[in-house]
Amino acid sequence: MLTSLSERSVIVTGASKGIGKGIASLFASKGAKVLLVARDLGQTESAAAEIRSAGGIASALAADVSNVEDTMRMAATATERHGGIDIVCCNAGIFPAARLGAMTGADWDQVLDVNLKGTFLTVTACLPALKARGKGRIIVTSSITGPITGYPGWSHYGASKAGQLGFVRTAAIELAPSNITVNAVLPGNILTDGIKILGDEYIRRMTAAIPQGRLGSVEDVAYAVLFLASDEAAFISGQTIVVDGGQVLPESQMALEDL
Ligand code: NAP
């Protein structure tokens, strides 16, 4: 049993749907006060309303994590509404596919701006409020793609997700004296709108590549984030938790066929 997160102020970026919404819902169900952030206000408000109707404390804010003014406004809003910031979940991310040769500089910049620079801007904006608390938690949603694996079309995405881990490790050192831990979760294939867009065939073939024989749920990821945000995880920093049903383990296709 972990120490209660009741009354903790939590920011979750990319919370209008998918993994972020799952993280926001789980924290709210544990009594935390959650600010849900994404660009589409309508969708973010309806995610927050869903959480409130389940008894949670949640509100929405439209902000683009790749924009410095937006991230400053996000930190100010959480402080205003919830009296400070305790936990920051840098989860917003995009994964458009483009193969080398077809990928443009603009494609590259867009993915790196949201996934990597967005993580940096979110953390930077929240730092003064986290430091004012005397302790804090930062949890970044990276991916197995980039840090561990590769997939055609996602060289920019993989670079952004591996880059997040480089950021996490140095941030963890710099923020240790402030009692702020910085860790990352590395989801495998999690059934979200973003993944459903890739089509039934992608999902069928990906399921076959996962030893547990299923894609992950948003709750699978959210529980790992919750643990890293807990008081009990105070001595863990600069680390990663892979949440993938064993997807990165088989050394060949044969290992799966022999199951
Ligand atoms: P999703 O269903 O497409 O949701 C993405 C969320 O991010 C939405 O709320 C979206 O809302 C928000 N977002 C996108 N760009 C943003 C921006 N510039 N500023 C603020 N919010 C932004 O994606 P998901 O599958 O839940 O993925 C969430 C995170 O998990 C991403 O970082 C992704 O790389 C990572 N991940 C996912 C999987 C998976 O299998 N699903 C696997 C590994 C890692 P708006 O569009 O309204 O802004």
Residue 8, sorted as left (phi over 0), alpha (psi -120 to 50) or beta, turns out to be: beta
Out of 11, 12, 19, 77, mutate this one to test ligand 1's pocket (max ligand atoms within 8 Å of CB): namely 19
Q: What is the pLDDT of residues 161-213, one digit of tens each?
A: 999 999 999 999 999 999 999 999 999 999 998 889 989 999 999 999 999 99
User: 36: Cβ below 6 Å to ligand 1?
Assistant: no
**Is residue 1 pLDDT above 90, yes or no?**
no
Helix axis angle for 68-82 and 118-133, nearest 10°, is: 30
Q: Which residues are catalytic?
A: 157
Query: In this structure, is residue 252 part of a structural domain?
Result: no
Query: In this structure, is residue 1 part of a structural domain?
Result: no
Q: What is the pLDDT of residues 7-32, one digit of tens each?
A: 999 999 999 999 999 999 999 999 99
- Atom of ligand 1 minimally distant from the CA of 39: 48
- Which residue range forms the structural domain that includes residue 71? 9-190+218-246
Tell me how many domains the chain contains.
Answer: 1
Ligand 1 center to residue 59 CA distance, Å? 18
Query: In this structure, is residue 72 part of a structural domain?
Result: yes
Query: In this structure, is residue 196 part of a structural domain?
Result: no
The residue assigned the tokens 């169900």 is: 29
Q: What is the 3-state secondary structure (H, E, C) of 74-143?
A: HHHHHHHHHCCCCEEEECCCCCCCCCCCCCCHHHHHHHHHHHHHHHHHHHHHHHHHHHHHCCEEEEEECC
At residue 81, the pLDDT reads 98
Query: In this structure, is residue 49 part of a structural domain?
Result: yes
Query: In this structure, is residue 22 part of a structural domain?
Result: yes
Out of 191, 192, 244, mutate this one to test ligand 1's pocket (max ligand atoms within 8 Å of CB): namely 192
Assign residue 20 the CATH number of its domain: 3.40.50.720
Query: In this structure, is residue 64 part of a structural domain?
Result: yes
At residue 118, the pLDDT reads 99
Query: In this structure, is residue 87 part of a structural domain?
Result: yes
Residue 53 structure tokens: 């109707």
